[in-house]
Chain A
Amino acid sequence: MSGMRSITLGHYLPGNSLLHRLDPRAKLVGLLILIAALFLIRTFSGFFYFGLFFLIAFISSRLPWRYFLRGLKPVLYIVIFTLILHFLFTKGGRVFWRFGVLTIEENGVYLGSFMTLRLILLVVTTLLVTLTTSPIAFADGIEFLLRPLRIFRVPGHEIAMMMTIALRFIPTLMEESDKIRKAQMARGADFESGNIFRRARNLVPLLVPLFVSAFRRADDLAVAMESRCYRGGENRTKMRQRQITGLDYLGVFTACGIALAIVLTGV
């Protein structure tokens, strides 16, 4: 259980660097612009310049590089998969290697490494934002970003509220699952032995009570929120308003500048 409790949500690492202090809205907008820029890059030198920029931001954030490696792990398989696909099936240019019907040709190597670089830069740039933004600030940022989508009836405020409530109840439900696990173990439930399927099935006596109680809690909470005059995002104020500073504008402008430079120079 101690392992479960040490899970950091969204992998946020508290700190006081420039990136930490940027407003979440500015960070998210900047991130979106940079992602767009990443998809506009057409040459390897473009990636080189982008990588250079990432390196500067990374060093200034003072984040440990291990977290970036760990963050890359889940996309490793996708990266390998794209590489293999491109190597084997994209044809054209010189032939590097031939085995029966299989060939690796110049264009495949080129495109494969191109896509791989793009994917890796995409992940590490995103990590730069998620690692430096607290989950609550993130929820606020999401609410802001979704605001223009209100005309399409996207419930931005509700999504942010759901994120906040989820964050609020994760420790509570963790505690509860710990309690249920112990209670079921005292009744002879076995959570530790057997193969993966057996273990998964043995989780049923843990999950069923946990879900029942989560639904009950949700019901209670809804009534409590209603009796404290909650009626959605309309006309709602915030106790602590986030202040946009010159720094935040600078951050967004830098991202815009990078995107513009990429488009104009055609790198």
Chain B
Amino acid sequence: MAKKTENMDQLFRDKLENHQVKPSKLAWERLENHLPQSKTKLSTYWWAAAAAILLLFTVGSLFWPAQNPLEEEILAEKVESSSNEEETTNQVPVEIETTENPIEIIEEKESAKVDKSSNREAQPKKNNNSSYQKQLEPNKQLIAQNETAPEREAIIEKPIAEPLKGLEAEIPQIKPLDLNATVAELQPTAEEAPAYKVTIVSNGIKEDKNLISGIGKKVDQVEGILGKVDEGFATLQDAKNSLFTSLTSKKEKVTEKP
């Protein structure tokens, strides 16, 4: 009897020890979800991330040179125009202080001449602003000379007179200044002249809103032009299509006739 039972145990062991039941396909996925992130997977993620960044850079570099010159041009234009604006707006009071002296003197002495010269040089307004700035410093020196040698000013009047027209609107506010007081003020300002330049530069950067809006306008303009070009292209295509269709229809007609 013992043999029989052992045989039965043996039978079950032989048949079932290596018996296999195929697990469901989902079983491995369920197991994998519970296993800690394998190192190989992590490294592949890193590689993928690196590849993505590299791809971004290459694509960016491909598109960059095409856009850059345009933007730079626009920026340069913006900076110039804005700086010009600021020069005129910010510097006007300072300039007035310095220029008033000769102006008033000129007006008193040779008002007729001023009118003529201002008329002549009224056209290159923008450039005059910058050139006028350069002339500021000699002017200050000349102010001193004004009192002693008023005759010489007649020669220098011509360049100084240029901004007169543009500045006329703001001049009335400061007109009541006394000659003596302004002369007194000029001497310290002449010393601090470089400091003014610094403030102008900083103002130019501060006015970002104008810059950005200006760039936006320019971009809009460019977009508008592009849109027009597209429209023109579309109409051209339409015209071409109609032409072709008319041509082919004509041909068909021609071929049909005989």
Do the two chains bind? Answer: no
User: Taking beta carbons and an 8 Å cutoff, which residues of A are in contact with B?
Assistant: none
User: Taking beta carbons and an 8 Å cutoff, which residues of B are in contact with A?
Assistant: none
